[in-house]
Amino acid sequence: MSNPQQLRYSKEHEWLTAAESGVSTVGITRHAADALGDVVFVQLPEVGDTVTAGEPCGELESTKSVSDLYAPVSGEITEVNQDVVDDPALVNSAPYEGGWLFKVKVDEGSPEPELLTADEYTAFTGN
Amino acid sequence: MTEAPRRTPLDALHRSLGATMTDFAGWDMPLRYGSEREEHQAVRTRAGLFDLSHMGEISLTGPQAAELLDFALVGNLSAVKPGRARYTMICDERGGILDDLIVYRLAEESFLVVANASNAQVVLDALTERAKGFDAAVADDRENYALIAVQGPEAAGILGGLTDAGLDELKYYAGLPGTVAGVSALIARTGYTGEDGFELFTAPGDAETVWTALTEAGRDSGLVPCGLSCRDTLRLEAGMPLYGHELTTGTTPFDAGLGRVVKFEKTTNGGRFVGREALLAAAERAGAAPPRRLVGLVAEGRRVPRAGYPVVAAGDGTLIGEVTSGAPSPTLGKPVAMAYVDPGYAEPGTPGVAVDIRGSREPYEVVALPFYKRQR
């Protein structure tokens, strides 16, 4: 169960892509999806919302529990994944692909958040 | 100091199947093997295989074993025929529920009491204490049994080919000694899923034989191994209470809407049993001024109620109850909950009921339990 090398990871178990034209894509890691179990409902921020690195910006409901979704970077939401809202199981089946959650235009002026490389995140989670 | 969790005889097998394990009542148990929702649907439509070896078995034997159980439990166990089982409870002197139990009468003078893992020691201690003066022996048999359940519409067909027992004659809540895959087992038609199914008590050393034989016999019918996560959603849909959630020492059977398990008309011990006076008072209270009632709640939205969340009036947020169990129901496709609510809000269809889900009032429909009943 490998974490893609090209992504960066937060200690709250989100991943994000390197910014393209200033916009990064965000999702939760396979480790997080496996720990949650079957995700049945995702509540995402709305397009235009401003999110702050390390702050909750949504939630994920699974059979056994509810978990906050944290923004790994600060910025403005430019797009949310309607497919995952309609079919939350995508978070479990394809956390790094079809299960992405939202896109964020990164606020360059905000402090650099502490993010991990794939290897660092793998070591952090122990798998 | 916390003790290391206990492992069932099937522990290595669960790990080889890639199970996600969880600590449950001091035991390391399978939570799920893959998708808990798929495991749930397998039990509803085909069959599922569960390791329930954490459950606590206590044996009672002797000429006065039946009298002892009539005295120690709220039910009328002396009326149970050998080969049959009863759902019952053990209460304290104040009528509070210490545990809910299934009691199998194996023979005229022999009973097997099955307690929840979290309460097994409490039940054992209470039975031992209450046995004083009775010609009956109470034995801790937790280490002597593994328990495997096969549940679902295909369960009888799968088990039928592996056992010498006549499953057609084995009724719901009956149990017989027999063989499964060539090893001895107590074969009981009981379960906690709302489906037809069987619970198989075997020697720990035989558990793997039984598990493997059922896995192979069930392959073509779509049987899958199932963890505790789907067991919880299955029992919730079936409206079955769970100790620590719907049932507690602060609750009498009457408060839980399960007063029918209390039998005041016992023929043994002059009608005396532990908790009798308090339970008579609880029954009277329930008749005169009904306490909060256990109801079902079905969400109109998609946020999931969890145990402990307040049930409130949708209009002004007045507290009217509390959620005891909640989960997304795979069968209904919506979040559901069991909750104790004030009697004025307990009728199915009562408008204006909401659950406070982390600060926002989400509308809920009051329904009668269970949420799911199988078609026979």
Contact flag B37-A63 (C-beta cutoff 8 Å): yes
Contact flag A40-B36 (C-beta cutoff 8 Å): no
Of A37, A40, A41, the CB nearest to B229: A37
Report the topology of domain B6-53+145-237: Gyrase A; domain 2 (3.30.1360)
Domain boundaries in chain B?
A: 6-53+145-237, 293-367
Residue B250 backbone phi and psi in degrees, to 5: -85, 0
Helix then strand then coil, % of chain A, to nearest 5: 20, 35, 45
Residue-wise pLDDT tens digits, A11-63: 999 999 999 999 999 999 999 999 999 999 999 999 999 999 999 999 999 99
> Residue B186: pLDDT above 70?
yes
**Residue % of chain A over a pLDDT of 90:** 91
The shortest C-alpha distance from A93 to chain B (Å) reads: 10
Residue of A nearest to B37 (CA): A38
A33 alpha carbon, distance to own chain's centre:
11
Q: Residue B27, Cβ neighbours under 10 Å: how many?
A: 20
What letter represents residue A48's amino acid? G
CATH ID of A8-105, from 2.40.50.100, 3.30.300.180, 3.40.50.880, 3.40.50.1100 = 2.40.50.100
Report the topology of domain B293-367: Elongation Factor Tu (Ef-tu); domain 3 (2.40.30)
CB within 8 Å of A127: residues ≥ 6 apart: A1, A31
Chain A positions in Cβ-Cβ contact with residue B39 (cut-off 8 Å): none
The C-alpha atoms of residue B150 and residue B41 are separated, in whole angstroms, by: 14
Contact flag B31-A37 (C-beta cutoff 8 Å): yes
Contact flag A61-B32 (C-beta cutoff 8 Å): no
**B31 reaches A (C-beta below 8 A):** yes
The shortest C-alpha distance from A41 to chain B (Å) reads: 7
Residue B2: pLDDT band (50, 70, 90) is low
Chain A positions in Cβ-Cβ contact with residue B20 (cut-off 8 Å): 34, 37
Q: Which residues are paired to B253 by β-bridges?
A: none
Chain A positions in Cβ-Cβ contact with residue B31 (cut-off 8 Å): 37, 64
**B35 reaches A (C-beta below 8 A):** yes
Is residue A71 within 8 Å of residue A57, measured between CB atoms? yes
Contact flag A38-B303 (C-beta cutoff 8 Å): no
Of A34, A37, A41, the CB nearest to B304: A41
Residue A78 token pair: 């430019």
Cα B327 to Cα B231, B234, B254, B321: the distances in Å are: 12, 10, 25, 17
> Residue B346: pLDDT above 90?
yes
DSSP summary character for residue B77? G
Q: Which residues are paired to B197 by β-bridges?
A: B151
Residue A113: the pLDDT is 85
Residue A5 token pair: 């090398």
Residue of B nearest to A92 (CA): B35
Listed residue (B176, B285, B233) closest to B42, CA to CA: B233
Residue B191: the pLDDT is 97
**Residue % of chain A over a pLDDT of 70:** 98
Chain A positions in Cβ-Cβ contact with residue B329 (cut-off 8 Å): none
Residue A127: the pLDDT is 65
Query: Residues of B136-148 as b/e, b for ≥16 C-beta within 10 angstroms?
Result: bebebbbeebbbb
Contact flag A63-B306 (C-beta cutoff 8 Å): no
Cα B298 to Cα B92, B325, B329, B335, B344: the distances in Å are: 33, 12, 9, 6, 18
Residue B265 token pair: 């008309």
> Residue B43: pLDDT above 50?
yes
Residue B1: the pLDDT is 47
Residue of B nearest to A59 (CA): B303
Is residue B118 within 8 Å of residue B106, measured between CB atoms? no
The shortest C-alpha distance from A40 to chain B (Å) reads: 7
Residue A1: the pLDDT is 55
Rg (CA), chain A: 13
Is residue B73 within 8 Å of residue B87, measured between CB atoms? no
Task: Give the mean pLDDT of B227-251.
Answer: 97
Task: Give the mean pLDDT of B166-183.
Answer: 96
**B219 reaches A (C-beta below 8 A):** no
Task: Examine domains B6-53+145-237 and B293-367 and report if their fold is the same.
Answer: no
Of A37, A41, A63, the CB nearest to B302: A41
Chain A positions in Cβ-Cβ contact with residue B302 (cut-off 8 Å): 40-41, 61
Q: Which residues are paired to B311 by β-bridges?
A: B321, B355
Domain boundaries in chain A?
A: 8-105
Chain B positions in Cβ-Cβ contact with residue A43 (cut-off 8 Å): 303
Residue A4 token pair: 């893609």
Burial of B313 (0-12, 13-18, 19+ CB in 10 A): middle
Task: Give the mean pLDDT of B352-376.
Answer: 95
DSSP of B159-207:
HHTTBSS-TTT--TTBEEEEEETTEEEEEE---SSSS-EEEEEE-GGGH
Contact flag B37-A66 (C-beta cutoff 8 Å): no
Q: What is the pTM of this model?
A: 0.94
Chain B positions in Cβ-Cβ contact with residue A40 (cut-off 8 Å): 37, 302, 304, 328
Residue A126: pLDDT band (50, 70, 90) is confident
The shortest C-alpha distance from B169 to chain A (Å) reads: 37
Task: Give the mean pLDDT of B155-180.
Answer: 96
